[in-house]
Amino acid sequence: MRNFLKYLTVFVMFVPVLPAQDKPSEDKSSDVRFSADMLDKSVDPCNDFYAYACGKWIAKNPVPADRSSWGRFNELQQRGEYIVHDILEKAASAGPGRSANEQKIGDYYASCMDESAVEKAGIKPLESDLGRIAAIHSKQDLPKEIVQLHREGTDVLFGFDSGSDFKNASQIIAEVDQGGLGLPDRDYYFKDDEKSAELRKKYVEHVAKMFTLLGEDPAKAAVEAKVVMEIETGLAKGAFDQTTRRDPQKIYHKMTNKELAALSPAFDWNVYFEGVGAPRFDSLNVVEPEFIKNMQQVISAHSLDDWKMYLRWHVVHNSAAMLPAAFVNENFEFFSKTLQGTKELRPRWKRCVGYSDDDLGDAVGEVYVQQTFGAEGKERTLAMVGALEKALGEDIKGLPWMGADTKAQALVKLQAITNRIGYPDKWRDYSTLQIVRGDALGNSRRANQYEVQRRLNKIGKPLDKGDWPYTPMTVNASYYPTQKNITCPAGILPPQFYDNRADDAMNFGGIGAVIGHELTHGFDDEGSQFDAAGNLRDWWTAEDKKKFEERTDCIKDQYGSFVAVDDLKLNGKLTLGENTADNGGMRIAYMAMLSTFAGKEPAPVDGLSAEQRFFLGWANVWCQNRTDALARMMVTLDPHSPGKNRVNATVSNMPEFREAYHCAAPAPMVNQNACRVW
């Protein structure tokens, strides 16, 4: 089950939800710590700190053939991948004494790996879906079919899910959202530059090829692919771009079911809601009313036969990973090679490890944390979070631009933030999910059904604070404004972080600033609109809000001036929250480090002071390479800036960096017009 984090969840980095890839030959126990021999001493740190700290790593670590990017986080992911691989191999080969979860993860993985069974089954596993679609009699019957496909996790026409009520955050309500696009974002359908036009042409060719693999005549498939493109372009017209989706005011429209029905009378919502398996409800969040209104027009504008083509495409697209090699390869050609610049498909075992994580993450995760994450990891992380929260409190109290009333509110909000470290207290119960050895696609379908149902069951219930949005193996961290919690899973906390050789200065600049980044998200342009209860409510005085916006404008302009690839600049507004979080996170991590030292400067290591090592700790997190194709894609999709800007722009805003590296005033790493929000 992929792509269920729709909006508002703010991570420390972006993970494309397109087919993942990985590196072919690698060191299983990657140590992601920084060491002094990584420094490129031919570069002046005041000139280009990123090149000084990462240059050597970048030269030694080109993007592997089966990936579109490679960074230090990927090394961490790789470490986790080998651990999970061992867990799955053991569970797959063990005999009858297996626990219920071992049976599920072992048989899921074994089925995924059984290529000959997948080839032998061919497209047979799709027959029931394709047969149902062929048998639809009228457009009136579309809602019934959408129910079936949504229950299997196939993204068609629109999205339906549960989510927090922005204005009553302790309650979970139903929500209808945009959806049903095959390309990664609505902008892909409209951008008029040459590269985008070429991508659209290749996308249509890809859709046609997938139809021919289903056995259709190539000429007919080409015509049908064009129809699919027309329908998706029609739907995309009503959809928001990524920048708009970061604005909570624009994605919250609570209405009654009747009001929703009035937006699109051609679609029978009663049939849909009754069939999809959600508890009864009378009102919901219509995330983008314009999308639903527009959807009505697109439904009317196309014939039933057109809609059948569109649905068939999404069925085969959604199932591609578990179909025979011809489908997998064609899917790779477009979504990885053309879109992201990846050269090779990653080995099957790695793909199957990824799918097992996606579909049975808690069952794998329970074993994973037993092997990798002890009480020591949790304690050390909690101590660091405590120090960072204290620093943020002091930072807020000392802000020169904020008035006393807003400060008092901000401190209440800080107090309300909760921390989830390592792994959830309660694991998901998979007892109702049936995993059958030898049925790869069926297993994936049933896992999707299980996850869809689990999410819909939340509707009408209070928020379950113990439910994690992703697995403990995940190498990432996040903040969610309506739940006002940070989540820091075991995957991003490797033993090197808390073993007794760990360097505090490096740790504060690395994982400390990452956690500080998440805390700051509570106070970025988006998070600052939610109050201490997690509700969308303005708690600012008008004067302080104005000063806040002047300061965030500085960040917006600074990052918006950076070139991402060719002549394409970063979107300063899309990346504003993340850039604010990077700058704030570094500041409070630095403050927390100093207070931990309590006036006792630690001894230099390799001739580097603790302050210098702190900044190297930050740079080390973001050393990365990426293909130009991915860099281009990220400008549209990714709210984070590229590693180079995350490092250089952030340090250039900090006088502490200037002092640590003794930079003379006019130097590239000294921003004369330094931006500071928090």
Of the candidate spans 8-16, 256-264, 505-513, 525-533, the one that interacts with Zn ion by CB under 5 A turns out to be 8-16
HEC letters along 584-635: HHHHHHHHHHHHHHCCCCCCCECCECHHHHHHHHHHHHHCEEECHHHHHHHH
Q: How far apart are CA 41 and CA 51, in angstroms?
A: 9
Indicate whether 440 belongs to the interface with Zn ion (CB under 5 A): no
Q: How far apart are CA 475 and CA 80, in angstroms?
A: 9
For residue 11, the minimal CB distance to Zn ion (Å) is 5
Is the C-alpha dihedral spanning 146, 282, 266, 239 positive or negative?
negative
Residue in the structure block whose two tokens are 């304690």 = 379
Closer Cβ to Zn ion, 176 or 515, answer by number: 515
Indicate whether 654 belongs to the interface with Zn ion (CB under 5 A): no
Indicate whether 519 belongs to the interface with Zn ion (CB under 5 A): no
For residue 524, the minimal CB distance to Zn ion (Å) is 8
Of the candidate spans 6-14, 54-62, 79-87, 454-462, the one that interacts with Zn ion by CB under 5 A turns out to be 6-14
For residue 218, the minimal CB distance to Zn ion (Å) is 45
Closer Cβ to Zn ion, 91 or 486, answer by number: 486
Burial grade of 73 (CB within 10 A; 0-12, 13-18, 19 or more): buried
Q: What residues between 131 and 150 interact with Zn ion by CB under 5 A? A: none
Paired tokens of 276: 């999809």
Interface mask toward Zn ion for 316-345; x: CB under 5 A: ------------------------------
How many other CB atoms are found less than 10 A from the CB of residue 476?
Answer: 20
Task: Give residue number: closest CB to Zn ion.
Answer: 10
Q: What residues between 53 and 72 interact with Zn ion by CB under 5 A? A: none
User: At 190, is the secondary structure helix, strand, or coil?
Assistant: coil
Task: Count residues binding Zn ion (CB under 5 A).
Answer: 4
Indicate whether 511 belongs to the interface with Zn ion (CB under 5 A): no
For residue 529, the minimal CB distance to Zn ion (Å) is 16
Interface mask toward Zn ion for 573-592; x: CB under 5 A: -----x--x-----------
CB 200 within 8 A of CB 207: no
Quote the DSSP letter at residue 99. -
Paired tokens of 504: 């505090």
Closer Cβ to Zn ion, 10 or 236, answer by number: 10
Closer Cβ to Zn ion, 228 or 513, answer by number: 513
For residue 517, the minimal CB distance to Zn ion (Å) is 5
For residue 624, the minimal CB distance to Zn ion (Å) is 16
CA separation, residue 567 to residues 209, 561, 562, 563 (Å)? 33, 11, 10, 6
- Residue 159 pairs with which residues in a beta bridge? 177
Render 114-142 in DSSP notation, one character per residue.
Answer: -HHHHHHHTTGGGHHHHHHHHT--SGGGH
Closer Cβ to Zn ion, 104 or 413, answer by number: 413
Per annotation, catalytic residue among 145, 518, 525, 526 = 518
Of the candidate spans 12-20, 29-37, 391-399, 661-669, the one that interacts with Zn ion by CB under 5 A turns out to be 12-20
Of the candidate spans 11-19, 189-197, 264-272, 654-662, the one that interacts with Zn ion by CB under 5 A turns out to be 11-19
For residue 8, the minimal CB distance to Zn ion (Å) is 11
Closest CA to 633 of 354, 346, 336, 328: 336
Paired tokens of 304: 């039933």
Of the candidate spans 10-18, 322-330, 609-617, 664-672, the one that interacts with Zn ion by CB under 5 A turns out to be 10-18
- Residue 175 pairs with which residues in a beta bridge? 161, 285
For residue 556, the minimal CB distance to Zn ion (Å) is 16
Q: How far apart are CA 625 and CA 349, in angstroms?
A: 24
CB 604 within 8 A of CB 616: no
Indicate whether 315 belongs to the interface with Zn ion (CB under 5 A): no
Closer Cβ to Zn ion, 294 or 474, answer by number: 474
CB 75 within 8 A of CB 32: yes
Per annotation, catalytic residue among 544, 582, 611, 638 = 582
For residue 12, the minimal CB distance to Zn ion (Å) is 5
Closer Cβ to Zn ion, 121 or 477, answer by number: 477
Closer Cβ to Zn ion, 12 or 488, answer by number: 12
Burial grade of 42 (CB within 10 A; 0-12, 13-18, 19 or more): exposed
Paired tokens of 192: 């008029």
Query: Is 518 a known active-site residue?
Result: yes
Closer Cβ to Zn ion, 114 or 389, answer by number: 389
Burial grade of 67 (CB within 10 A; 0-12, 13-18, 19 or more): buried
Indicate whether 8 belongs to the interface with Zn ion (CB under 5 A): no
Could you say which of 4, 5, 7, 10 contacts Zn ion (CB under 5 A)?
10
Burial grade of 459 (CB within 10 A; 0-12, 13-18, 19 or more): buried
Indicate whether 213 belongs to the interface with Zn ion (CB under 5 A): no
Which positions lie near Zn ion, rule CB under 5 A?
10, 12, 578, 581
As annotated, the active-site residues are: 518, 582
